[in-house]
Amino acid sequence: MGRCELRAQSRTEQRDFALKIVIADDLPASAVELLRAEAGWIVDARSGRKPDALAADLADADALLVRSATTVDAHLLSAASRLRIVGRAGTGVDNIDVAAASARGILVVNAPGANSISVAEHACALMLALARSVPAADRAMKDARWEKQKFLGSELRGKTLGIAGLGRIGQEVAQRARAFGMRIVAHDPFIAKEIATALGVELMPLEEMCATVDYLTLHLPATPETKHLFDDERFAKCRPGIRLVNTARGELVDEAALRRAIASGIVAAAALDVFETEPPKDWSLAQLPQVIATPHIAASTEEAQELVGTETAATVRDFLRDGIVRNAVNFPSIHPDELQRLQSWIRLADRLGGLVSQMGAARIEALGVRYYGALVESRGVDVLAASAAAGVLRPILSSGVSIVNARTAARERGIDIVESRSSRSRHFTSLLSIKLHTDAGERWVEGTVFEPHSLRLVSVRGVDVEAPLGGTMLIIANDDQPGVIGEVGTILGRHKVNIANFALGRHGGGAVGVVNVDEDPGAPQALDRAAGEIRRVPAIREAWVVRLP
């Protein structure tokens, strides 16, 4: 997150010359006028500028607002010496170099969730189109063909809808599908049962859901774990005749596998708004008669674009005018001096959260964060709980989860964050304890910071073990008996996985091993295969692959 010396100026602290806001992409007129309404502010709203021209215009700008057309890279940011905030009118920030912005003390904000209803409505529209063959019937009419008997449809009423991913958009779909009289089930191992129950949604494992539903709509983030989640093997386990809707990410579906599933009749029809490559290089899937295809327009409604634009403009205005930070993706809302002092501990909390989150799939019920030693008296220490929550949720959710919005994201998923302080003496000057409460049991890890800024894992499940915290790690729980370490090392060597550090802790007939490894970026599957083989060793109770920043 860089040095984070960012500080918003209040009205009384502003320079005696006007603030300048550059809007580089098209925004609704209402968003532009919201900024122009501020006395003395200069708003330069012009789209389509060449990179060099935009860089020149940013030389004296305080704020930059973009959508997806403009790329905000390190080179552009280096030309903007006065820039304090970049607003992205949308959810994703893929076109913004957030790390470069953070290093320069520039706040990056977005508009999360502003287009949820539009995407949900488009998913419902696609379901109705599949049920009644609307595009094909319309095409026949335009060709002057009256084919009434051909287009016998079916009702959504009484059908079972499966929702893969019960986040904001998935919940909106559930509410609308209930009005159609559908039975609604969902797979989301990280949503609280109480939220699903309130929505009238039954939670179930993915395989069971796929084998049960008539319609399946995808609302999952694109992560390494969800890439090609729907492949030949998954489709083979689906209920024959299933209808698939994808308005989330093209990477979720192996398009070749989907074509084969349609050809075999496993998938009766599909409605796709997103594709692996956009626009597609291979149009054969979109051109199948069983497929309804739209060009990534689920979020493209007047209302969504209006809301996204005005929300982003208001966020930028409130920061520049009043110093209020909202919807930030790279900055916590505490005093910069305190933030700077806590930087290493913030990173520690994030990584500890990421570690427990990756120790197996389970439904998270609560996150416990306990501070020991000098941390108990630190001001602003509650930012560590937000950082831990961000670490927990990042492997689960799509990009955009940050130290600022992690508490909100946790609350939306029914996850309680419980903070506590202990004066009990431990072996370290300060210690951070993270406990994840899940429906599969508790996961408990502890860490500390060795000077200067060395993050260390010091306990796993109450077993003392000291290891560097970061990069790729293999964590093993095993019976404390001879030969286990050697067998683990042999398996890793056979898969050409290099061990950078090996730490072992023992307690009560059991042991915990933490293996830091050098992972080949081009072949991450090597470690996954090795871990699978390690899990089959009789003395190994559990083994997890954890990937941290």
Residue indicated by tokens 């502010």? 41
Sign of CA dihedral 372, 375, 379, 383: negative
Given a cut of 60, whether residue 360 has pLDDT beyond it is yes
Give 166-201 pLDDT, tens digit per residue: 988 999 999 999 999 999 999 998 888 889 999 999
Averaged pLDDT, 350-365: 91
Given a cut of 60, whether residue 296 has pLDDT beyond it is yes
365 catalytically annotated: no
Q: Are residues 338 and 7 in contact, defined by beta-carbon separation less than 8 angstroms?
A: no
Q: Which of 225, 278, 303, 377 is catalytic?
A: 278
| Reported confidence tier of residue 6, pLDDT bands at 50, 70, 90 | very low
Q: What is the DSSP letter of 250?
A: G
What span, in angstroms and rounded, lies between the C-alpha atoms of 482 and 411?
45
Mean residue pLDDT of the chain comes to 89
What span, in angstroms and rounded, lies between the C-alpha atoms of 199 and 181?
14
187 catalytically annotated: no
Given a cut of 90, whether residue 428 has pLDDT beyond it is no
User: What pLDDT does residue 4 have?
Assistant: 36
Q: Which of 249, 394, 413, 437 is catalytic?
A: 249
| Reported confidence tier of residue 335, pLDDT bands at 50, 70, 90 | low
Q: Are residues 516 and 504 in contact, defined by beta-carbon separation less than 8 angstroms?
A: no
Encoded amino acid at 65, one letter: L
User: What pLDDT does residue 5 have?
Assistant: 35
| Reported confidence tier of residue 435, pLDDT bands at 50, 70, 90 | very high
β-strand partners of 88: 66
What span, in angstroms and rounded, lies between the C-alpha atoms of 292 and 244?
10
Other Cβ atoms less than 10 A from the Cβ of 206: the count is: 18
Q: Which of 132, 176, 178, 296 is catalytic?
A: 296
φ, ψ of residue 493 in degrees (nearest 5): -60, -40
- Among 317-326, 358-367, 457-466, whose mean pLDDT is lowest? 317-326
Q: What is the DSSP letter of 253?
A: B
Which residues lie below 8 Å from residue 157, measured CB to CB, with a gap of 6+?
A: 180, 181, 182
- Among 113-127, 282-296, 396-410, whose mean pLDDT is lowest? 396-410
What span, in angstroms and rounded, lies between the C-alpha atoms of 317 and 172?
29
Other Cβ atoms less than 10 A from the Cβ of 339: the count is: 21
Domains identified in the chain and CATH numbers: 20-113+303-331 (3.40.50.720), 116-293 (3.40.50.720), 334-458 (3.30.1330.90), 461-549 (3.30.70.260)
| Reported confidence tier of residue 79, pLDDT bands at 50, 70, 90 | very high
Tell me the two tokens of residue 98: 């957030």
Nearest to 164 by CA among 102, 211, 210, 126: 210
Tell me the two tokens of residue 386: 């937000």
pTM over 0.85: no
Given a cut of 80, whether residue 341 has pLDDT beyond it is no
User: What pLDDT does residue 10 have?
Assistant: 38
Tell me the two tokens of residue 2: 């860089």
Encoded amino acid at 510, one letter: G
| Reported confidence tier of residue 340, pLDDT bands at 50, 70, 90 | low
Written in H, E and C, the secondary structure of 308-325 is HHHHHHHHHHHHHHHCCC
pLDDT > 90 fraction of the chain, expressed in percent and rounded? 68
219 catalytically annotated: no
Q: Are residues 193 and 221 in contact, defined by beta-carbon separation less than 8 angstroms?
A: no
User: What pLDDT does residue 314 have?
Assistant: 95
- Among 6-10, 66-70, 75-79, 500-504, whose mean pLDDT is lowest? 6-10
Give 88-131 pLDDT, tens digit per residue: 998 778 899 988 888 777 889 998 778 899 999 999 999 999 99
- Among 4-8, 64-68, 208-212, 225-229, whose mean pLDDT is lowest? 4-8
User: What pLDDT does residue 8 have?
Assistant: 41
What span, in angstroms and rounded, lies between the C-alpha atoms of 328 and 93?
11
The 3-state DSSP class for residue 468 equals strand
The 3-state DSSP class for residue 1 equals coil
Give 485-521 pLDDT, tens digit per residue: 999 999 999 999 999 999 999 988 889 999 999 988 7
Averaged pLDDT, 219-235: 90
User: What pLDDT does residue 382 have?
Assistant: 82
Compute the C-alpha angle 47/52/55, nearest 5°: 75
Q: Please spell the DSSP secondary structure of 70-107, one letter per residue.
A: S-B-HHHHHT-TT--EEEESSS--TTB-HHHHHHTT-E
Nearest to 365 by CA among 171, 193, 220, 198: 193
